Each structure stands twice: as structure tokens, then as C-alpha cells.
Structure 1
Amino acid sequence: MGWRDRGVEIKTPEQIAAMRRAGLVVARTLELVTDLARPGLTTGELNAAAEAHIRGLGATPSFLGYHGFTGSLCVSVNDEVVHGIPGSRVLAEGDLVSIDCGAIVEGWHGDAATTVALGEVSEEVRGLMAVTEDALWAGIGAARLGGRVTDISHAVETLVRSRGDYGILEDYTGHGIGSEMHLPPDVPNLGKPGRGPRLVEGLALAVEPMVTLGSAETDVLEDDWTVVSHDGSWAAHYEHTFTLTPDGAWVLTALDGGRARLEALGVPYGGD
């Protein structure tokens, strides 16, 4: 059974270009809400600003209505790892806020996430943010045409393990993306390299490390969406959508296409 038979969607250059347009909407929206996030604001107000911005750019929120989800963002605070539903929660000084955003342009999706500290937080929390974001870029940087999906997984895990005793979520993974927000293949955040579908031109993946200060075990709240760490430890979440070209990696949800971070890693940049 080849990679095409496993439902992996391969895009044309024109379709990747549409995904780049969706990715730029996501990037600009995350930039907006990152600047907007502050103590005293509700998660619902962040969500409203994001939805208005996405629609103002001629795009559609990916998350709104997805399996009944009621937000255009996922906003997860402190021990909430992912899938937090925006609403009446008031953000406070010292909160750690993970914001996940998706947008659709011409039927094609972009998906990315970032984590924001509101005011002063501990060095431990700053370290958590840094290791999670660095793991995201290590994973993308490990991708090569002809390689395998778990080359990304292994690089994410190796980076995190090298920094300390963190929890890496196993039950929630990155994913293929394109004409739908979630497509095969899964992109785990840990594992041995050299496994899974081959990385080929036209494949687009969302890589998203989710890392905690404690246990990797999680629970889902009664809302059936919000994922929290089992031990109450705080979590960070970073994500980008990327593809590979013959020239290198192209991060579709980064304003600069990922050039700065990739070049800092010595990884070829493959964007336009």
C-alpha cells in the first residue's frame, strides 16, 4: 500500500498557493490577538476580534462549527493544553494563554498556534514556552523530501528531552492539512524516525508540539472539548502548517514563510 492509498492528499502548486493565502490570514490573526491579549479581557472577546479579522480578510474560520465547536479560536489557559472554548473567562496577570487559529481561503486551510504569557511569569514557564516553540522548529527543520513523517516526531521529542523533564502529549498530534483541516497522516510529537508516509512535494502538514511542566497524561472537561493536564501542570502549544519544495521547507502560516528560524537552524528555505 503506497502513501496515496492511505488517503494522503497531495496538492498542486496552485493549491499550495491558496494554502499560503489561508496561512497568511492565520498568521495575521494570531499577530492581532497576541497583541490584544491582556489581563481583564475575556477569552470570548479575543475570539470575537479574531473572527471579525478573519472574515475581514475574506476568509472563513476553520474551527467555527467544526464538530459543533462554538469558537473561531481555541483559547487554552494555564493547565488547559488545547481546545479551550472561548467564552466568559477573564484573563489575569500571569496567565499562560495558548491560542490556536485556523482559516479557509478558496476551500484550503491554514492552521497555527502560539502561546502568550500575560505579564510576569516564572523562569520555569518561560522555559516551557521556549522548549515548545523550539521543538516545533526542530520538527519542521528535520523534514526533507524523501524522508518520513516520524523524522519530524523524533526531532520534536529529542529537542524537548534535551531540555528537561517535560511531558509531551501522545494522544494529540499534528496532522495532514489541505482541503480539510485534519487529514492523514498523523504527525506524532515523539517516536522513532524513519516511519510513516514519505515526505513528498505537495504534502502539507501541521506540526504542533503540546508540552507540559509535569505529566503527559490529560483529561477532557465536561464541555467535551477542553483538554487539561491530569496533574494540573501548565502547558504550552505551538503550531505551524508547512510544506516542502525542491528548495527546502516553506512555513505557510509564518509571515516570513519561516525563513528566519529555518536559516538560523541551517535549514534550506523553500518559499517564494
Structure 2
Amino acid sequence: MASLQISNIETEIPSDILPTRVMQLYASISKLESLQPTKQVNTLFTQLVNLCILPCSIDVRDLPEELQVKRESLISLCGEAEGLLELEFSTFLAKTPKAVSNLNLFPYYNNYLKLAKLEHDILVQNGVLTPKKVAFVGSGPLPLTSLVFAMNHLKSTHFDNYDFDEKANTLARQIVASDVELEKRMKFVTKDVMEVREKLGEYDFIILAALVGMNKEEKVKVLGHVRKYMKEGGILLVRSVKGPRAFLYPVVEEHELVGFEILDIFHPTDEVVNSVILVRKPVF
């Protein structure tokens, strides 16, 4: 999880032990009165992430139904906690004079730097060098992925950031407004991606945040919608997870990418949590 402190990878954890330990943490997390950032909240989620990035051969598809339900609930709790952490920090950052210059104050900024570099390297390896226009779907109040891409990797690209929460977009705009050059290249649109149609056809490259589509049904609907309206030959980057990391984020299976040409799939084994799936809409 990009928003949490994580430690070095340890030895492999047996697949029959991992679910029990995860569910112990889930029990503690689900009893919290609030998921607002506090020492207790941060400690519990840090323990969870540190556990879920351990090497483990578990396949969550093999879990019994009862654990599947709890896993989905845990993913929702992780998403809520991550959102509240970003909201708190973006509210603080939006009030600082040079917000964009102070992104490194966010405690887990380095995790975003690593993920963005990984994703950019994969793009370059697959011939995606200088997209003119990019859409980031699910940008939130602290659009670190777009900011890191725009500042470090795609320095002339225009970014449209989509989020259905106007408060999140307002904060994001205030942060970006602290940099005149970035403000010209970054726009924030308050809209559910399922309501965006022809506009999706304008983008060379679309990034789908890990928490857009929290369960399988929603994720498949979003993927189908984006595929229908994006341009032929357009590139889509989908974030997924593998193994025990599937207790933190939704999994995107290859068979769910109907109608796409799969270009690359990368599963990290270090502290980067998200897998990267790069696909293309075929040209007919």
C-alpha cells in the first residue's frame, strides 16, 4: 500500500499461517471507532502491510467463502484508511506556500517514487515514450502518481485526473496551483469514470488506480467501459496485486481483460505492493 510505512522483506510465511494472522489484524482494525490517522491506526495497517508483502505461495482464490467476504471487507477498510490519510495530508499541504515542492513531507512519498519509476520503465520497454495526453482515473485528494509522472518522467504530457469527489479535486487543484508550469498541464475533473464516454477516446494512455472498482463485478464493469470508449491502439495501465497482497487491494485477472492485448505483467517482490498490468486496445 503506497501510503504506509513498510519494512524489508523477511523470510517466506507458510500459506496456512498467513490467513490466520491477517484475520487477527482484521479483527482489531474492524473494531476501531475511526480510521482517521492515529498512532494506533497507523500501527495496525503497517503491521498488515508488512505481513502481506512477505513471500508466500498463497492464492486467495482458494480461500473459503467466509474468508473471501472478510478479505473484501478488509480491502474496503484499507481503501478508507488510505483515503483519510491522503485527505489529512493534502489538507495540510494545500495550505503551504510551495505545496508541490513539499511533497516529500508526505511520510510515504518514496513509495510513490518507486512505483511511478517502475511503471514508467515498463511503458518505455513497451514503446510508450511520450504520450501527449494521459488520463488518471481515481486520482484522489493527493494525486502523487500524476505529479511524480508529470515532474519526473513525462515532462511535456497533459494529465486529466478523474475523481468523483469534488472535495478531493479542490484540494488537488490547490496543491498543483503552487506550480505554474504543472498547473498548465494538470486538470481535475469531478466525474465517475462510468459517466465518461467519448472523452476517453482522446487519451494516448490511461492509468486506472488500484481502488477503482473495489470488487470483481465493479472492476470488470470499469474495464469494459474504458475499453469500449478508449481509442484504438490506446494504452491502459491497470494496477493489481498477487499472492498475500490481495488482502490489501483487488486482484485483476488476465481473463478479466477481455478485448485487450496484454503487453506486460510485472509482479514486484520487494516493498512495492502493486503489480503492473499494461494492455493495449487493438487496432481493427
- The structure number with the bigger radius of gyration is 2
Tell me the TM-score normalized by structure 1. 0.32
Higher helix share: 2
